Amino acid sequence: MSSSSDVDGNVNVGDTLKAYAYCAQVTRLSSATFHLAASLGPDDVRDRIFALYAFCRALDEATDGDNLSLNESKQKIDKLERDLRAAFSDDDDAALANCGCEAVALADTVRRTPSLSMQPFEEMIQGMRSDLRDDVRFNTWDDDLRTYCYRVAGVVGLMCVAVLGTKREANQKDAEEAAVDLGIALQLVNVIRDVGEDARERRRLYLPLDSVNRVGLSAEELFSSEYTPDERYERLVEGEIQRALLYFRRSLRGLPALPLFARIPTMAAADIYGALLAKVRMNGYDNLSQRAYTTSSEKILALPGILLRAIGRTPTLKVCGDSAYTNWLAKPEPARSLVQDLLVMVELSNKSDDDHAVEAAAKALECCNPCTSPARDSLLLGEWELVWSSPGSDFARLERRLRGGPLEGQAKSLQEIGNGYSRNVVVFPGDFVRVVITATVDADSVKVDTTNVGPPYTFELQIAGISIPLKFPAEFAQERTCLRTLYLDEDLKISRVGAFGERTTEGSLFVHVRRRAEQSRDL
């Protein structure tokens, strides 16, 4: 479509309206669910979201469109890159003269969205061009595939945040990072859903090769129509499902920053698309010979629940429920992602007082202990800071008692484990008053993930740096406590605590992170 101009240099209103109508139609035909969800927002925002979708869809079609030769794909992407520069050009009349509807609508969107940058679009074009290589493979997640997912999908999150906006009190950077994480999660769903189509029709493999090789498979096996999924492949796909779930969970922190009208389409995209992961599992992890999909009725039935969760104080995604965890967590591949997952759940829980997700993540990790061997002294010794404890723990009860009192604020619990002793320090708000408990430590040489802590104890109160020795409470005098600790890596550990005697805290969960030298002055 060509554009004409009026006296002030803008694209004619009639042409712009037609361009937006075209973008709406492209969205509806490509994704009726997303079209419905986006239509729930204000007209102004809805039109601009359709413009973003249509331009990104045009790039996708230029890369993967049916019956396109490699040269034709390159030409189409080059044309869309020129259209992009025209949309962001100050000289709209001349620049848009030979552009398509997507660019005309995008140009108007750019004018109406000052924070919308051209860089995310340029990153996307770079990612799409990488799909036109002769040999599309990715060696690792960290170095290769994550960059690709960011370019072709993560950047869409940046575009959408610019259009949707955030609440006035929200942290813009946090919202953008969460939006990128959601884009990466959605792209990982694409990768998992389309393995067979990509590998056997296009000779492309988007699963990281180090993960493929780790389970004992090769790229050539996956390309072969003779290969059928086996236990190795199930492990491989479940590992990637866990990676996607991690990024869905990381995106949770951005939902409260969005206005209500923006939460609904965002959550709809996440939940309905994320449901494909469960479909892959239901299909026996066979995404080589069949393609997972959700029905129209399933999508429609999901919307009421999405709406109810969107208006909640702490909005959640259904895809992040307990069903995300399976027995496959005992396999090695998901472990690294699950460690990150636990920390994300801790961060969210500390903001919302929703402890269930932390417990679920910890239980999952306890099922699969990602350590190659149990903890040794080199991991045990050192200084740790408590970042989360279960509501029934002594420290959690202490924090609750501080509320409303003269020391109201965030108490801090520090731990130092040395050769033969364990020192626990409770730092009260204001860093003026602290309690120090020191106990003996007996590290069992056989069960090295278990530490027995017991008498003799020393108990002291510190006020403004002055130590006042106190008699240890009588009810603790004969008690030995068993700390079963799972060392996830050198900087993170979770502990289940049980006591021998009448008083027991069996089941209390603690999450600690290692303190570095610059943090250690408190001890």
Query: Domain containing 56 — which CATH number?
Result: 1.10.600.10
pLDDT band at 435 (very low <50, low <70, confident <90, very high): confident
Full residue range of the structural domain in which residue 173 is found? 133-323
- Residue 69, pLDDT above cutoff 60: yes
How many Å apart are CA 172 and CA 266, to the nearest integer? Answer: 16
Per-residue pLDDT tens digits for 200-251: 988 999 999 988 988 889 999 999 999 999 988 988 898 888 788 878 888 8
Q: Which two tokens stand for residue 512?
A: 């600690």
Position 360 in a domain: no
Per-residue pLDDT tens digits for 287-313: 999 999 888 888 888 888 888 888 877
Tell me 252's DSSP state.
G
Position 344 in a domain: no
- Residue 377, pLDDT above cutoff 90: no
Please provide the DSSP assignment of 180-204 as one string: HHHHHHHHHHHHHHTHHHHHHHS--
Q: Which two tokens stand for residue 140?
A: 């690792």
Question: Are 309 and 413 contained in the same domain?
Answer: no
Position 388 in a domain: yes
Average pLDDT, the chain: 80
How many Å apart are CA 396 and CA 401, to the nearest integer? Answer: 9
- Residue 54, pLDDT above cutoff 90: yes
**Overall domain count for the chain:** 3
The pTM of this model reads 0.69
Distances (CA, A) of 513 to 249, 392, 417, 467: 20, 20, 13, 27
Question: Are 432 and 484 contained in the same domain?
Answer: yes
Q: Which of 305, 323, 341 is the last residue of a domain?
A: 323
> Dihedral sign, CA of 401, 406, 410, 412?
negative
**What pLDDT score does 59 carry?**
94
Amino acid identity for residue 151 in this structure: R
DSSP helix, strand, coil percent of the chain (3-state; round to 5):
55, 15, 30
How many Å apart are CA 487 and CA 511, to the nearest integer? Answer: 10
90 burial level (CB within 10 Å; 0-12, 13-18, 19+)? exposed
Q: Which of 308, 323, 338 is the last residue of a domain?
A: 323
- Portion of the chain with pLDDT greater than 70, in percent: 77
**What pLDDT score does 146 carry?**
92
Q: How many CB atoms lie within 10 A of CB 473?
A: 10
Tokens 């004992």: give the residue.
216
Beta pairing partners, 244: none
Question: Are 60 and 193 contained in the same domain?
Answer: no
Asked whether the beta carbons of 238 and 334 are under 8 A apart, the reply is yes
Please provide the DSSP assignment of 342-402 as one string: HHHHHHHHHHH---HHHHHHHHHHHHH---SS---HHHHSEEEEEEEE-TTSHHHHHHHHH
Question: Are 102 and 158 contained in the same domain?
Answer: no
How many Å apart are CA 86 and CA 95, to the nearest integer? Answer: 5
Four-point Cα dihedral 111, 113, 117, 118, nearest 10: -40
How many Å apart are CA 176 and CA 12, to the nearest integer? Answer: 33
Domain harbouring 478, CATH code: 2.40.128
Q: Which two tokens stand for residue 81?
A: 């890159």
Question: Are 164 and 313 contained in the same domain?
Answer: yes
Question: Are 393 and 456 contained in the same domain?
Answer: yes
Question: Mapping DSSP to helix (H, G, I), strand (E, B) and coil, where does residue 508 land?
Answer: strand
pLDDT band at 490 (very low <50, low <70, confident <90, very high): low
Q: Which of 93, 254, 242 is nearest to 173 (CA)?
A: 254
Position 124 in a domain: no
Lowest mean pLDDT among 296-300, 490-494, 517-521: 517-521
- 122 vs 459 pLDDT, higher one: 122
- Residue 327, pLDDT above cutoff 50: no
Q: Which two tokens stand for residue 373?
A: 């061997």
- Portion of the chain with pLDDT greater than 90, in percent: 31
Q: Which of 341, 202, 222 is nearest to 285 (CA)?
A: 222
Position 334 in a domain: no
Lowest mean pLDDT among 384-393, 402-411, 479-488: 479-488
**What pLDDT score does 501 carry?**
42
Q: How many CB atoms lie within 10 A of CB 339?
A: 18
Tell me 225's DSSP state.
T
Question: Are 400 and 284 contained in the same domain?
Answer: no
Phi and psi at residue 426, to the nearest 5°: -100, 115
Position 121 in a domain: no
- Residue 505, pLDDT above cutoff 70: no
Asked whether the beta carbons of 512 and 387 are under 8 A apart, the reply is yes
The answer to whether the bond into 456 is cis (omega within 30° of 0) is yes
Which helix or strand (DSSP H or E) is residue 80 part of? helix 70-87
Question: Are 65 and 140 contained in the same domain?
Answer: no
**What pLDDT score does 12 carry?**
46
Q: Which of 57, 86, 114 is the last residue of a domain?
A: 114
Lowest mean pLDDT among 48-62, 261-275, 449-463: 449-463
* Rounded average pLDDT over 330-343: 58
Position 419 in a domain: yes
Question: Are 97 and 159 contained in the same domain?
Answer: no
Phi and psi at residue 458, to the nearest 5°: -120, 145
Question: Are 91 and 231 contained in the same domain?
Answer: no
How many Å apart are CA 162 and CA 175, to the nearest integer? Answer: 10
Position 348 in a domain: no
Q: How many CB atoms lie within 10 A of CB 263?
A: 23
* Range with the largest mean pLDDT of 24-28, 168-172, 459-463: 24-28
Which residues, 6+ apart, have CB-to-CB distance to 131 below 8 Å? Answer: 63, 64, 152, 204
Across 24-57, b (16+ Cβ under 10 Å) vs e yields bebbeeebebbbbbbebbeeebbbbbbbbbbbbb
Question: Are 7 and 90 contained in the same domain?
Answer: yes
**What pLDDT score does 324 carry?**
43
How many Å apart are CA 150 and CA 58, to the nearest integer? Answer: 18
Question: Are 110 and 186 contained in the same domain?
Answer: no
**What pLDDT score does 10 carry?**
39
